[in-house]
């Protein structure tokens, strides 16, 4: 008696290993019969790959690596800690702010930094022009803008003020910034545990890749000096002005003592009132000396704090010519093109055979 609780194997939907091998053999024999077609397609693909290798321009990579200065290390921090013990707050002990953590990575790709780097000068054939004008020239963008006169005549002077740019100039800058940051500019940490940052600029123009990488790092460094040290720099300027003013008054007081003594060279001991001008000047000398001593001490400590905050970047590697180049070799293009063409031809033939068998059944 048959056990109906057990499923009966469906022989129509299952295929044995023997049948699978038979199918594979049929496919192999079919492709073997089409060897001329496959060979022809492979040769055409190889020729196309070879042609592409002549057309495709090499891509150059400029690599700039640096490490952020550790503000809490070194002898300067010891001097500042000693100063703080005496109640002297001279600044410079704050955190990294915009330059802390991953903030710097995004800052280097920001429109402001990229824009100012593109407006930096580059020397070509004894003449200087902005990197942005050079970028437009070697990419033949003016020819592409020939049907748009308002774009074809655009010019970007060296270190120009972006606030004075027209709407068309702003639009071009925005598009170029977007293209560079998405496709050609890479800023990342070599390792999350390390503070080493690597900047990579890729371009079909070797000169631009190197110049833009250097200009971008230099611009971020200048931005750091202008922002991170702004408070300390103002503090130094104020203390320097005060010290100069007190020194001037001290010199005048010393001259006043000498003039008072010269006015009464043979002072009568009975005439004590004649000593008053000289004694008053002497008090001024002593007071200004004490004030100047304190100001000079604070000034030197403020200068120490300012030096502590610069520079931002300790350079590890700079891009050097010739740059690393990524190009498609002719032999590689020949083999790869032939392989792809042969593979897709075989795939097309097999699918055509399967479709034909299905329609016949």
| DSSP code of residue 204 | S
Question: What global pTM score does this model have?
Answer: 0.64
* CATH architecture, domain 233-308: Up-down Bundle (1.20)
The pLDDT, as a whole number, for residue 73 is 44
* Residue 247 vs residues 32, 74, 236, 241, 281: alpha-carbon distances, Å: 100, 33, 16, 10, 14
Cα dihedral 157→119→165→180 (10° resolution): 130
The pLDDT, as a whole number, for residue 32 is 85
Measure the CA–CA gap between 141 and 153, rounded to whole angstroms. Answer: 11
Q: Residue 46 burial (CB < 10 Å; 0-12/13-18/19+)?
A: buried
The residue ranges of the chain whose pLDDT is under 50 are 1-2, 4-8, 10-13, 72-80, 82, 85-96, 268, 272-274
Contact indicator for 344, 229 with CB cutoff of 8 Å: no
- Which residues lie closer than 8 Å to 78 by C-beta, 6 or more apart? none
Measure the CA–CA gap between 21 and 127, rounded to whole angstroms. Answer: 72
The pLDDT, as a whole number, for residue 264 is 60
Tell me the domain boundaries of the chain: 23-56+329-360, 59-228+313-326, 233-308
Cα angle at 181 between 121 and 197, to 5 degrees? 85
């Amino acid at each position: 008696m048959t056990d109906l609780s057990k499923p009966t194997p469906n022989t129509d939907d299952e295929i044995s290993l023997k049948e699978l091998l038979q199918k594979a053999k049929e496919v192999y024999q079919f492709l073997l019969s089409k060897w001329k077609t496959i060979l022809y397609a492979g040769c055409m693909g190889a020729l196309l790959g070879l042609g592409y290798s002549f057309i495709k321009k090499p891509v150059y990579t400029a690599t700039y690596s640096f490490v952020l200065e550790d503000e809490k290390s070194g002898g300067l921090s010891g001097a500042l800690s000693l100063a703080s013990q005496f109640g002297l707050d001279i600044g410079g002990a704050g955190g990294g702010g915009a330059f802390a953590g991953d903030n710097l990575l995004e800052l280097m790709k920001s429109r402001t930094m990229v824009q100012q780097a593109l407006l930096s000068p580059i020397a070509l054939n004894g003449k200087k022009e902005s990197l942005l004008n050079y970028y437009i020239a070697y990419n033949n963008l003016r020819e592409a803008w020939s049907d748009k006169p308002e774009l074809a005549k655009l010019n970007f002077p060296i270190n120009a003020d972006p606030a004075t740019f027209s709407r068309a100039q702003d639009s071009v800058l925005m598009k170029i910034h977007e293209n560079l940051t998405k496709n050609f500019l890479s800023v990342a940490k070599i390792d999350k545990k390390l503070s080493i940052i690597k900047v990579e600029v890729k371009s079909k123009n070797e000169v631009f890749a190197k110049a833009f990488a250097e200009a971008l790092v230099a611009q971020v460094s200048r931005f750091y000096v202008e922002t991170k040290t702004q408070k300390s720099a103002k503090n130094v300027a104020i203390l320097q002005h005060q010290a100069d003013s007190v020194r001037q008054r001290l010199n005048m007081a010393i001259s006043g003592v000498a003039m008072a003594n010269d006015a009464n060279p043979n002072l009568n001991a009975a005439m004590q009132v004649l000593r008053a001008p000289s004694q008053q000047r002497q008090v001024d000398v002593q007071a200004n000396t004490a004030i100047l001593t304190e100001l000079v001490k604070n000034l030197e400590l403020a200068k120490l704090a300012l030096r502590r905050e610069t520079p931002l970047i300790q350079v590890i590697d700079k891009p050097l010519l010739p740059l690393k180049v990524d190009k498609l070799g002719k032999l590689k293009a020949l083999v790869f093109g032939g392989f792809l063409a042969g593979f897709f031809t075989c795939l097309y033939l097999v699918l055509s055979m399967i479709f034909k068998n299905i329609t016949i059944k």
